[in-house]
Amino acid sequence: MADVRRTSAGWPDRTARLVAPTLAAAVEALADTRERGFTFVDTQGKERFYSFHELHKEALKRSYGLRRLGLAKGDRISLIVAESDDFVLTLLGAVLAGVVPVPIYPRLGFKASDGYVDTVAHITRAAGSSAIVTTQQQEPHVRDAMPRCPTVTQLIDMEKLASAAEGEPLAPVQITPDDIAFLQFTSGSTNLPKGVVVKHGNLAANCRAFMYEGLQADPAAGDKGVSWLPLFHDMGLIGFVMGPLFTDIPVVFLPTSSFARSPRVWLEAAHRHRATLTYAPNFGYALAAKRLKERDLQGLDLSCLRVAGCGAEPIQIGTLRAFADKLAPTGFKPEYLLPCYGMAEGTLAITFTKLTDVARADHVSAEALQAGKASPAAEGVAANDIVCCGTPFENHEVRIVDDAGNPLGERQVGQIITRGPSVCGSYYENPEASAESFKSGGWLYTGDLGYLADGELYICGRLKDVIIVRGRNFYPQDIEWCVAQIEGARRDNVVAFGVTEDGEEKLVVIAETSRVQAKALREEIPKRVLDEIGLQPFKVELVALGTLPKTSSGKPQRRKTKALWSSGQFVASTHADSAETANVQERSE
């Protein structure tokens, strides 16, 4: 049976360390720490350092402000704040007050779009928030959602909160591991966002696991993080705010927009602050490898790093290798790259590779993989490279099962399920969705497909997104990656999905591109997909830049795209007639 469980026997003594039982206790435990803390960098490059002592002091004041404004333990607040320091301090203030924060990404444009208002209204209504806490700059973008949020009784900006915070200290609120720390709404890449109930106990267990076991973080050894990741998503929030608070690790926070404009900002900050820990999704490494020029690397010394983690989306081994090669002149080593696997329902991290390993991929037969078996590919045979995502943490388990929930064997592809103290137990007030994902015995059914080989996990794709043609499984992310490599296509601007025509599932590819490059792409996409994937698209749609719907973290919404395409809503934005073939053809070997 392909089933992995890790116990403490395989870990160094450092994993015996205990962490605080709650996030509130972790913040309070750092109240006397003045030499380490968080550094927040604004869009102009100006830095503001808060020692952990100052962080605790300011968060405590904000907790008083929330309580004086009528909020009580267990109440939910929608938190929509763009400035990273105000976001972190207010979130921690809510935690110390026993109030449940519900992070929502801020709107950075001048006008609130209908889609953004819909998202704010849905999340706020689903959470039953009593208040929306925001800034004066964000207020115009959230007011339109207020009429659709019947539980919201007040809109609180930073000035109102600061005013309410003044006064004598209040008695502390007792927080237990069974209390809700925050609601972590999923990104909505497949459907409407669902609120994962993250309890303090889940948070403490996961932070201990990935910080101590996974990263072997040690403040005494000078560990320090640097991050440009959005703070309203789990990797940025838990990975670089909450995990470090549990383990006394200082962090430098960069604006996400600064990285998007110039990836060198990220690396320069790591160099200047002598950071040892950083993370990015696959697209971040791809963007940096593509944009960085030789002159950008001059003067950078990244030998200080020991971990450059990668997660949050499908990982491509070619991306990691290209990044390592590009950064080699800075002292960056391939073994710094650390692929991992996780999801919101597991709090954050589920599996990690070993710190001493170089990122690697399993070279498996494409034909065998399509049949549900991850067999090593012979030389000259069409193959897929599946990145190794490592093993689960102590007292956590990972298993591969078939459609009926039966365990599968080594190298058999099936659904990934996991259990352990990091696994959250439900979606907030959503029993139907909870019953689908959280099963008896404490197992979380992830909806992801993968397999185990030599005890290590490999991820193939999302169960509901697999395109099945004549009994063969095709994974949309492989098709999207294939198309994205064509000149004129763009990474994260390609979506592939299956549709049923004449009783048979067929492939549709939608790609954003400029009008100038549309003709060449229309001819090249079917050819490239047939050649590399072995499947000829039924339709290829080329649409204008900015057309595809995406999540707040920039991931294409595959199922929403399919729904829009099926209803004909992409027609007006196509550059020209879409490419179409009458039949789905498979390449004969």
Q: Residue 14: what pLDDT?
A: 43
- Alpha-helix residue ranges (DSSP H) falling in 274-424: 282-291, 294-297, 317-327, 366-370
Q: Residue 191: what pLDDT?
A: 58
C-alpha 108/C-alpha 60 separation (Å) is 28
What value does the mean pLDDT of the chain take? 89
Domain ranges of the chain: 13-259, 466-580
Cβ count near 432 (within 10 Å): 7
The mean pLDDT value for 211-227 works out to 96
**Strand (E) positions, 513-557?**
539-543
Question: What pLDDT, in 10s, does the model give residues 471-489?
Answer: 677 878 888 888 988 888 8
Q: Residue 478: what pLDDT?
A: 83
Model confidence band, residue 5 (pLDDT cutoffs 50, 70, 90): very low
CATH of 13-259, one of 3.30.1330.20, 3.30.420.10, 3.40.50.12780, 3.60.15.10: 3.40.50.12780
Model confidence band, residue 583 (pLDDT cutoffs 50, 70, 90): very low
pLDDT at 122 over 80: yes
pLDDT at 154 over 80: yes
Amino acid at 378: A
C-alpha 384/C-alpha 570 separation (Å) is 31
Q: Residue 474: what pLDDT?
A: 84
Q: Residue 262's closest CA among 225, 293, 300, 240?
A: 293
Residue 213 token pair: 């076991």
Backbone angles phi, psi at 78, to 5 degrees: -80, 125
Model confidence band, residue 109 (pLDDT cutoffs 50, 70, 90): low
Model confidence band, residue 110 (pLDDT cutoffs 50, 70, 90): low
Greater confidence (418 vs 6) lies with: 418
The mean pLDDT value for 287-300 works out to 93
The mean pLDDT value for 399-411 works out to 96
Q: Residue 562: what pLDDT?
A: 82
Q: Residue 570: what pLDDT?
A: 64
Q: Residue 544: what pLDDT?
A: 85
Question: What pLDDT, in 10s, does the model give residues 443-453?
Answer: 999 999 999 99
SS3 134: strand
The DSSP code for 571 is G
Query: In the CATH scheme, what architecture does the domain 466-580 have?
Result: 2-Layer Sandwich (3.30)
pLDDT at 90 over 50: yes
Model confidence band, residue 264 (pLDDT cutoffs 50, 70, 90): very high
Backbone angles phi, psi at 197, to 5 degrees: -85, 105
In the β-sheet with 154-157, what is the strand arrangement from edge to edge? 100-103, 76-80, 131-134, 154-157
**Hunting for tokens 């002159």 — which residue is that?**
295
The mean pLDDT value for 395-415 works out to 96
Tell me if domain 13-259 and domain 466-580 are identical in fold: no
pLDDT at 382 over 50: yes
The mean pLDDT value for 343-352 works out to 97
Question: What pLDDT, in 10s, does the model give residues 232-252?
Answer: 989 999 999 999 999 999 999
Greater confidence (290 vs 200) lies with: 200
Span between the terminal Cα atoms of the chain, in Å: 33
Q: Residue 58: what pLDDT?
A: 98
Using a cut of 0.95, tell me whether the model's pTM lies above it.
no
Q: Residue 188: what pLDDT?
A: 53
Q: Residue 153's closest CA among 176, 129, 170, 137?
A: 129
In DSSP notation, 388-451 reads: B--EEPBT-EEEEE-TTS-B--TTB-EEEEEESTTS---BTT-HHHHHHHB-GGG-EEEEEEEE
Is the Cβ–Cβ distance between 344 and 268 less than 8 Å? Answer: no
Residue 212 token pair: 């101590």
Q: Residue 199's closest CA among 77, 23, 393, 59?
A: 23
Q: Residue 121's closest CA among 103, 95, 85, 148?
A: 148
Greater confidence (560 vs 404) lies with: 404
